[in-house]
Chain A
Amino acid sequence: MNETLVMLLAGGVGSRLNIMVEARAKPAVPFGGIYRIIDFTLSNVMNSGINNVAVLTQYKPLSLMEHIGTGTPWDFIGRGRGAKILPPRTGQKDSDWYKGTADAMRQNIDYISSHPSREVLVLSGDHIYYMDYRPMLQFHRRKRADMTIAMMTVPMDQIKHFGTAITDQKGRIMEWEEKPEVPRTNLASMGIYVFKTSYLLSILQKTGEHDFGKHIIPMAIKKDSVYAYPFQGYWRDVGTLDAYWRANMDLLDPSSGLTPETWGVRPNLEEAGLMSDWPPARILPGAKVSNSVISAGCVIEGTVEHSVLSPGVYVAKGARVTDSVIMHECQIMTGSRITMAILDKKVEAGKGVIIGSGPKDTPNQEFPEQLFTGLTIIGKKTVLPPGVCIGPNSIVYPGCGEANFGQKEVLPGSVIRALTP
């Protein structure tokens, strides 16, 4: 018997990440140069000495499945070890998409019962954090709990995004509110649940509710033993563009507490389609690089300041990248100025392209609640022709090119979409 069965929910859309999740699920979004968001959770499982993980996918799973592969990078290989992908499947009656966190578990009751376990650990692949799950499992056992929820304190103005709890002195959850408008506590759920396996199976069969946070937990705390496990440390829900950008910038701040290497986070360095290993990064004569995170395969002739670069990025002589997140194989040509931007993979910024300069006070016209801090997002494989100037808070969709930029000036807060052929 496995002591602990891990169910990792990786099917979320993460729609507030906008074009970054146009072709991939949120857990598959690249982060910190060489990682994807889910690497943090997969590595936590590995580093907690747990040998098996089931990954529940749904939304745009291709790049996620390719990334996880056989699970080798996280040591899930060998007899008795493994990473399994559990996609939604057609039920007896009709095609059943996962309708929520609890429903995803319910549709995999056969998997849970055929792998006998003492506890089921439910994780999400959406967060940047380090956690050894073993102390939480011990806490759960010590409390003889039916369910234990990992919780941490967050700033009061953030609490409205989370499930919240009020506990008694022993940590038992007495009250639960999902995403409260008027907060009464700053204790937030991290979406990490430990269930006594028998309890989980019975509760899934007893009700038809779809979501743990919204439906099941409020019911469960009334008569069952549900505990809050207190967590302290770096933990970020990088579900918004601004939070995503800030968490990347945390890599540049030694006091932020975000240290993937000491956490033991492993990427998959053998990305699909990569025929050889990325060579070391090269800084050419005349380049200036400071306060930055630089991945393998980068070639830098220009200036890079306070930025995070993924593998294979080229920054030409006379180009300048500041306060930005630049993903795999972007090409930034001579005279370009990239400020406070996220460039998805394989973006080409032609000669003299200016991104993100000028006043930041015009929010995005279509997504004012997503882009208002001055951040600009450029979609995968977009080619920005020479001399194009893109104002802050703009979004340029994936696959845009020459035809989209009849006018070289793109006003702050604009949205540019690829033309349909």
Chain B
Amino acid sequence: MQKILAMILAGGRVDELSVLTFYRPKSAVPFGGLYRVIDCPLSNLRYSNIENVGILSQYRSYSLINHIGQGASWDMVGRHRGVTMLPPFQGHKASDWYKGTADAVFQNLDFINYHKPELVMVLSGDHIYRMDYQPMLAYHLKKKADLTAAFVAVETREAPRFGLARIADEDKAGGKILLYQEKPAKPASNWASMTIYLFRPEVLREVLQENAKSDSHEFGRDIIPAMLGRYKVYGYKHTGYWGYSRKLEEYWQANMDTLGRRPKIVLREWMLRTNLDHQAIRDRQPAVIGKTARINNTSFYHGCRIEGQVENSVLFPGVRIANGAIVKDSVLFFDTTVEEGAFLEKVISDVDVVIGAHTVMGKRNGAVAPQGGITVIGRSTQIPAGLTIGPGCTIYPDLRPEQFTKKKIPSGEAVQ
């Protein structure tokens, strides 16, 4: 068995996720009623028996550091197993923030050298998917490739958002990469890069050192194009769910995909592991469903108390929905409280949010609203009772009730 070192790129903020990434990188954003996005790659690594992981983090790392802990949740503690957080550090000359994905790995080449891996896997911590990396690994070895990158088919109209490859039709699993375009206006393919790369370590070292001399340092934009024609670069085709979720609507949809009679994401089959010590998940008792509750097509976890009406929603641990409240099409993070008689439609609330009694949020009445009609609320904000907040609004974190000066907030507005 090959000795593999995985480097997870987990430091990106992703502006489009608005207030959800004010205090955490995208990889630490809660997902699916219990997890964080990074639980997907970490659990994938676990089940692929890849047990040495470095996590490259830069932006607001606290939430991520807290979540990863020592890696025990993914069984990565032991003599030959480990998770290491790799924040940026000061170089000999100056403080060096990571200047791109390739630079982040470049600055940690000594970490890679120390581990003496036979293969280096570089992957993003930002995506929602289930994948066994072993077949990709086997493919990489079979082809004696210098770099193998994973691709997934996306809709043609979405293609310009991705790094795209034309892959030679060598076999079912893929082939040589013939052409690579980073976010092109006119896509030549709909095979989108999943940001999962397998490198021969000596090649990785070579190309990163070469790239360090230039002024752009991204794997997709710079490294792959520079390698084409000079190295053996393969594309591996993956099929299955892949949640890019870089927009609020996509992120909301990925959560909705865990619901329904036949969900697109069957969490039980994905076998995700998370850190049960984070957000005190262990300390919570099973959900208490009250006498007046009416629940339809909804998921919830321990610590929830539901007295009101909920449909098509994902409730994280500790969410409380009071009698007479109605919650529809919403994603409510840890310990959100919805008070009596409140109405929520298409709301994403961050942790510890309170929505006051009889406040109406996001009622669309069929009208079109910005950001897909999603109203998003930053962490720890307390929305007072009796407000009417239109769809597609953005409510900033840490607001106290007295900071809301208007009774009515029209569709698409932001409250800071």
Interface residues of A (CB under 8 A from B): 32-34, 73, 251-252, 259-261, 264-267, 269-270, 275-277, 279-287, 289-297, 301, 308-309
| Range, interface on chain B | 35 or more
- Cα distance, A279 to B289, chains bound together (Å): 18
Whether B253 sits at the interface, judged by CB under 8 Å, is: no
- Are the C-beta atoms of A285 and B261 separated by less than 8 Å? yes
- Are the C-beta atoms of B284 and A261 separated by less than 8 Å? yes
- Cα distance, A267 to B32, chains bound together (Å): 22
- Are the C-beta atoms of B289 and A276 separated by less than 8 Å? no
- Cα distance, A291 to B293, chains bound together (Å): 8
Complex contacts, A284 vs chain B, CB 8 Å: 260-261, 297
Identify which of residues 252-306 in chain B touch chain A, using a CB-to-CB cut-off of 8 Å: 258-261, 267-268, 270-274, 276, 281-293, 295-303
- Are the C-beta atoms of B302 and A296 separated by less than 8 Å? yes
- Cα distance, A285 to B295, chains bound together (Å): 9
- Are the C-beta atoms of B268 and A297 separated by less than 8 Å? yes
Complex contacts, B288 vs chain A, CB 8 Å: 251-252, 292-293
A292's closest neighbor in chain B, by CB? B289
Q: Besides the contacts A277-B272, A279-B33, A279-B272, what 9 more A-B pairs have beta carbons closer than 8 Å?
A: A32-B286, A267-B282, A276-B270, A277-B34, A279-B258, A283-B300, A290-B292, A292-B288, A292-B289
- Cα distance, A296 to B284, chains bound together (Å): 11
- Cα distance, A276 to B163, chains bound together (Å): 32
- Are the C-beta atoms of B298 and A283 separated by less than 8 Å? yes
Instruction: Type the 1/0 row for B183-207, where 1 means its CB is closer than 8 Å to any CB of A.
Output: 0000000000000000000000000
- Cα distance, A207 to B288, chains bound together (Å): 50
Complex contacts, A279 vs chain B, CB 8 Å: 32-34, 258, 267-268, 272, 299
Interface residues of B (CB under 8 A from A): 32-34, 43, 258-261, 267-268, 270-274, 276, 281-293, 295-303, 314-315
B318's closest neighbor in chain A, by CB? A261
- Cα distance, A261 to B284, chains bound together (Å): 5
Complex contacts, A261 vs chain B, CB 8 Å: 283-285, 303
State whether A283 and B297 are in contact (beta carbons under 8 Å apart), knowing that A33-B285, A34-B286, A296-B302 are contacts in the complex. Answer: yes
- Cα distance, A270 to B275, chains bound together (Å): 11
- Are the C-beta atoms of A277 and B274 separated by less than 8 Å? yes
- Are the C-beta atoms of B276 and A270 separated by less than 8 Å? yes
- Are the C-beta atoms of A276 and B295 separated by less than 8 Å? no
- Cα distance, A266 to B282, chains bound together (Å): 6
- Are the C-beta atoms of B289 and A289 separated by less than 8 Å? yes
Complex contacts, A281 vs chain B, CB 8 Å: 287, 299-301
- Cα distance, A168 to B274, chains bound together (Å): 55
- Cα distance, A275 to B268, chains bound together (Å): 11
State whether A280 and B297 are in contact (beta carbons under 8 Å apart), knowing that A34-B285, A261-B283, A293-B288 are contacts in the complex. Answer: no
B303's closest neighbor in chain A, by CB? A261
Of A32, A266, A270, which is within 8 A of B283 by CB? Answer: A266
B323 vs chain A, min Cβ distance (A): 12
A275's closest neighbor in chain B, by CB? B271
Complex contacts, A290 vs chain B, CB 8 Å: 289-293
B314's closest neighbor in chain A, by CB? A280
Complex contacts, A275 vs chain B, CB 8 Å: 271
Of B260, B271, B291, B301, which is within 8 A of A276 by CB? Answer: B271
- Cα distance, A251 to B301, chains bound together (Å): 17
**Leading 5 A-B pairs by shortest Cβ distance:** A279-B267, A276-B271, A280-B33, A33-B286, A261-B285
- Cα distance, A275 to B283, chains bound together (Å): 20
- Cα distance, A309 to B285, chains bound together (Å): 12
State whether A293 and B289 are in contact (beta carbons under 8 Å apart), knowing that A261-B283, A266-B283 are contacts in the complex. Answer: yes
Complex contacts, B32 vs chain A, CB 8 Å: 279-280
Complex contacts, A267 vs chain B, CB 8 Å: 282
- Are the C-beta atoms of B282 and A269 separated by less than 8 Å? yes
- Cα distance, A259 to B305, chains bound together (Å): 13
B259 vs chain A, min Cβ distance (A): 7
Of A259, A264, A280, A291, which is within 8 A of B34 by CB? Answer: A280
- Are the C-beta atoms of B299 and A280 separated by less than 8 Å? yes
Complex contacts, B260 vs chain A, CB 8 Å: 284-285
- Are the C-beta atoms of B287 and A269 separated by less than 8 Å? no
- Cα distance, A69 to B42, chains bound together (Å): 24
B38 vs chain A, min Cβ distance (A): 14
B240 vs chain A, min Cβ distance (A): 17
- Cα distance, A344 to B289, chains bound together (Å): 22
